[in-house]
Structure 1
């Protein structure tokens, strides 16, 4: 953790402001700082596909949220903007089963005033690569300006 990362209290504040679907699947915001974000998810049976492996949509959600966050960090969490996904590519490389703890580690690769590009690795508890991807995002409205 760098000196500019959010404190535990600020992480909780940001965690509470991320979309309902993020909350519904049980994600946890582990780290958030300038140009990076790390999320975690403990896989439950509800996160699996018919082959009893982590569902691709759950993988995409973790990666989308992590990449969107990594380009919207502000010194004060209240000033954080939302990110709108313009495009996203995901490559699936390994299955993950119920009971696994999965981490999405995203970093901002390039950033302009309105648009940023990010990449993300999805890792299991042994740091094995589950999936990797990249996306292009647009900074949207300030989080505080949106309806609650």
Structure 2
């Protein structure tokens, strides 16, 4: 988590906005998104579709490596590979995705992310490799 409550420099990407995710914290090597659960996110079992988890993990991992602190100097990351582990189902009403850049270099970075709910239930985890664009 970031040490200061700096204003967020970007809105989530259009897809994340469309599903209702909100970026609530972003700083060097870290990001946090929150997504209230809604009926349109559910699968036939009435739990969130696995693609919701995968999308949240992918987005959190990508943003975690792209913070610059300067709205005019954006960094963009493109997913090269991603692994997802589905561990549980939510007990609460909100998904919380936290991504952390774990390493990398000038052109490629590595990241991991966890999805929990507001009860602390660990829902899914992911790891990924990303390439900086532009």
| TM-score of Structure 1 vs Structure 2, range by shorter chain | over 0.9
CA distance in 1 between counterparts of 2:65 and 2:46 reads 33
Instruction: Show the 5 A alignment for 1:3-42.
Output: 3=4, 7-8=6-7, 11=8, 13-15=9-11, 18-42=12-36
Match 2:75 to one of 74, 81, 85: 81
| Counterpart position of 1:72 | 66
Q: Distance in 1 between matches of 2:20 and 2:101?
A: 24
Give, in whole Å, the separation in 1 of the partners of 2:133 and 2:33.
Answer: 21
8 Å CA contact 1:71, 1:111 repeated in 2: no
Q: RMSD of aligned C-alpha atoms?
A: 1.4
- Number of the residue aligned with 1:2: 3
**Cα distance between partner residues in 2 of 1:42 and 1:62:** 12
> Separation in 1 of the partners of 2:69 and 2:24?
17
- Per-residue CA deviations over 1:52-95 (Å, capped at 9, x if unaligned) read 00111011111111110000010212212111000000000111
Greater share of residues in helix: 1
Structure 2: how far apart are the matches of 1:96 and 1:127? 9
Where do 5+ consecutive residues of structure 1 fail to align?
142-148
Q: TM-score, normalised by structure 1?
A: 0.85
How many residues get paired?
133
